[in-house]
Amino acid sequence: MSRPSSLTRQSGRLSRGCQRGETGDEAALESQARTELAAAVEETVGSQPPVEVRTEVRNGTAATVLLDAARDASLLVVGSRGLGGFSRLLLGSVAQHCTQYAACPVVVIRSSGQ
């Protein structure tokens, strides 16, 4: 039986638990992921966003899920965590992986504090 490897928040997406053979724990993780995703979207764009926001929950590493989702995209936008000091000059591992392997252009957004 496959098990979810991680739940990772993305722009409008969250990595998902497996579909086949879900146990109670996996169903609970998926439910929690959906709840957290809905809260993150509402916090970011409000309860009535000015644009269409589609969400889904997927299983996998953040970079793999993002690259799969962006396969036919015109642009992939990812965030970058600030680590401070010299590390601010470097990309995070997910952003780095996406910039190297995406089939489309990638924009990396840093927080305003970076």
Q: Are 38 and 81 in contact, with CB atoms under 8 Å apart?
A: no
- Record the tokens describing residue 101, joined without a space: 């392997």
User: What would the pLDDT profile of 62-89 be if each residue is shown by its tens digit?
Assistant: 999 999 999 999 999 998 875 555 555 5
Write out pLDDT tens, residues 3-32: 333 334 444 444 444 444 556 788 899 999
pLDDT tens profile 45-61: 998 988 888 898 998 89
Let me know: does 2 contact 21? Beta carbons within 8 Å: yes
Return the residue matching tokens 């000015």: 50
Query: For strand 76-80 and strand 56-57, is the pairing parallel, antiparallel, or unpaired?
Result: unpaired
